[in-house]
Structure 1
Amino acid sequence: MAENASAPRSLMLVLHDIAPETWPDYQPFVQAIDEMGGVPMTWLVVPDFHHRNPLHRSPTFCRLLERRLALGDELALHGFYHADDGTPPRSPGAFFMRRIYTHEGEFYGLDQQQALQRLEQGLAVFDRQGWPVAGFVAPAWLMSEGTRQALRQLPLRYTSTPQHLYRLPDFTAIEAPGLVWSARSAWRRGLSKMLCDWQCRRWREAGTVRLGLHPVDMRHKASREYWLRTLRALLAQGRVPLTKSAWLDGQASA
């Protein structure tokens, strides 16, 4: 599905892995964004990050997220634990995806029933807080077929992968290319910068560009400053910053 040609060029600033323990990483960056003014963000919230950050035990952090909603930001569901603690992988491909590529692909190995239960638990957390929720993003963007089937049963509007947003429940694909870093080591940060610089040139005329940030990006000067510099450059091009939901609202229907 193509983007709405009449919509202005845009960008989406997306903060992954939002939890009480990751907020100290993000706080200086968010303050810098707020000082720019007029840049809404989509916060991907994990209800119980790595089994040690249940939101109900952090009322101060929950009030912070409520203030972000009041400022025009969006909260989306980002897994439940953001940790792959399911049954061990049974094939070489699954072993690679779940133990080498990432240990956080929570929804990669779930069947439909398991995924539905986990998703409903997450939505219940949002409901108890009184937070509106339109989107779900799987940790590491990894979704089993069972997860896809479970999403078709829920009142969510979208999910996403690195290059697309998908309108639910029919999984209509809409191009929304994304930049992302792997910042865990110096060589990864160097490679990420080269790749993202190339992608920025390639997508200069794209209708939208997503910036997918992670807590580890905030711990290194090179990656943190890259995101601030890139955001300023995209804004200077005249791109309009939008949340994911606001961007989806502007797209033509299938």
Structure 2
Amino acid sequence: MIGDPRRDGAAANRRLVVSIHDVSPAFADPIEQLAETIGAILGGPRFAMLVVPDHWGRALLDRSPAFARRLRHWADAGVEMFLHGWFHRDASNHPTAAAAMKARYMTAGEGEFLGLGADEAEDRMRRGRAVVEDAIGRPVAGFIAPAWLYGAGARAALKACDFALAEDHFRVWQPATDAIVARGPVVTWASRSAARTASSLAVAAAARALPDWLPTLRVAVHPGDVTKASLMTSIAQTIGTLAARRTVARYVDLLPQGGAAA
């Protein structure tokens, strides 16, 4: 079995966590394709899904019963479900030049929680959580901001909402205590331009080749990845290669009570 720690003792101390982002009725077919591809590589639904309640204000989950049923099926099978913003769209007026640059260059207008105040961020988190939990029939595993970008308001709202876990580009942490449970960058892919695609393919190739010095390695895929064969080939190669050398883990396994913290 891929990722089985019984194969070698070292692998038991190195974890691989895989997630599918932007899970929404707007991308039902690509999400299904990614879930099938990753599930086949990992030997089952051993990954997380990041669910957007109303992607760009055009795809309400609670008005998409067929997709909600599919989400519950995945959750019942063991897929971890995270809340992933509300709209996944950044419509904020950013107060600082640094935040404006992040919003412009780090994401294509999708850093929804980068510029929100605490009250608005908390309202979207609470409403989104209710929608997703109603669909899946259980609590969400945590909250992950769109584009992994958090402003001060979002960080305050995370504490108020008592999510078990959150993550950004470089860490996974417990918002209630700020305790970090995993460190290191996320391996992901980009489909927006030829240059971004080439760069992401190079990074993925490096991740496959580099020594396994990180205790926890995270891999994230997006619906747009299915639009390019080169990306899907790289995703399959990367997840397969890393899973052969690591224990495939869930986010909950990163928690002290679920497994050893990194």
TM-score of the two chains, using structure 1 as the length reference: 0.89
% identity of equivalent residues: 31
Matched residue, 1:95: 100
For residue 34 of structure 1, the aligned residue among 35, 39, 47 is 39
In 2, Cα distance between equivalents of 1:10 and 1:54 = 34
> Contact (CA 8 Å) 1:9, 1:206: kept in 2 or not?
yes
Matched residue, 1:231: 239
For residue 259 of structure 2, the aligned residue among 234, 250, 254 is 250
1:206-231 residue CA offsets vs partner (Å, 9 max, x unmatched)? 22211111111121111111111111
| CA spacing shift, 1:232–1:127, aligned 2, 3 Å | closer
For residue 126 of structure 1, the aligned residue among 123, 132, 143 is 132
What's the secondary structure of 2:173's corresponding residue?
A: strand
How big is the shift at 1:39? 4.7
One-letter amino acid of the counterpart of residue 9, structure 1: R
Query: In the TM superposition, what are the counterparts of 1:177-188 in structure 2 within 5 Å?
Result: 177=184, 178-188=186-196
For residue 55 of structure 1, the aligned residue among 61, 66, 71 is 61
Structure 1 range deviating more: 155-164 or 170-179: 170-179
What's the secondary structure of 2:172's corresponding residue?
A: strand
> Contact (CA 8 Å) 1:42, 1:243: kept in 2 or not?
yes
Is 1:172 the counterpart of 2:179? The answer is: yes
What's the secondary structure of 2:139's corresponding residue?
A: coil
For residue 157 of structure 2, the aligned residue among 131, 150, 155 is 150
How big is the shift at 1:168? 2.4
One-letter amino acid of the counterpart of residue 134, structure 2: R
> Contact (CA 8 Å) 1:176, 1:210: kept in 2 or not?
no
In 2, Cα distance between equivalents of 1:137 and 1:77 = 6
What's the secondary structure of 1:153's corresponding residue?
A: helix
1:141-200 residue CA offsets vs partner (Å, 9 max, x unmatched)? 110111111111123111001121011212112334320122212221111111232244
In 2, Cα distance between equivalents of 1:35 and 1:180 = 19
One-letter amino acid of the counterpart of residue 23, structure 1: A
In 2, Cα distance between equivalents of 1:211 and 1:64 = 23
Q: Which structure 2 residue ranges, 5 or more long, are not aligned?
A: 1-9
| CA spacing shift, 1:8–1:148, aligned 2, 3 Å | same
| CA spacing shift, 1:215–1:64, aligned 2, 3 Å | same
In 2, Cα distance between equivalents of 1:118 and 1:29 = 27
1:98-150 residue CA offsets vs partner (Å, 9 max, x unmatched)? 23432011100111111111111111213433232121000011101111111
Structure 1 range deviating more: 11-20 or 94-103: 94-103
For residue 22 of structure 1, the aligned residue among 27, 41, 54 is 27
Structure 1 range deviating more: 208-217 or 26-35: 26-35
In 2, Cα distance between equivalents of 1:201 and 1:170 = 35
For residue 108 of structure 1, the aligned residue among 105, 110, 114 is 114
Structure 1 range deviating more: 53-62 or 98-107: 98-107
One-letter amino acid of the counterpart of residue 24, structure 1: D
Is 1:43 the counterpart of 2:49? The answer is: yes
What's the secondary structure of 1:15's corresponding residue?
A: strand
Is 1:204 the counterpart of 2:212? The answer is: yes
Equivalent residues, number: 247
| CA spacing shift, 1:163–1:95, aligned 2, 3 Å | closer
| CA spacing shift, 1:90–1:162, aligned 2, 3 Å | closer
One-letter amino acid of the counterpart of residue 251, structure 1: A
What's the secondary structure of 2:160's corresponding residue?
A: coil
What's the secondary structure of 1:80's corresponding residue?
A: coil
In 1, Cα distance between equivalents of 2:215 and 2:96 = 39
What's the secondary structure of 1:43's corresponding residue?
A: strand
For residue 90 of structure 2, the aligned residue among 84, 101, 112 is 84
> Contact (CA 8 Å) 1:10, 1:207: kept in 2 or not?
yes
1:37-74 residue CA offsets vs partner (Å, 9 max, x unmatched)? 23511000000000001001111101111111111111
One-letter amino acid of the counterpart of residue 248, structure 2: P
Matched residue, 1:190: 198
Q: Which structure 1 residue ranges, 5 or more long, are not aligned?
A: none
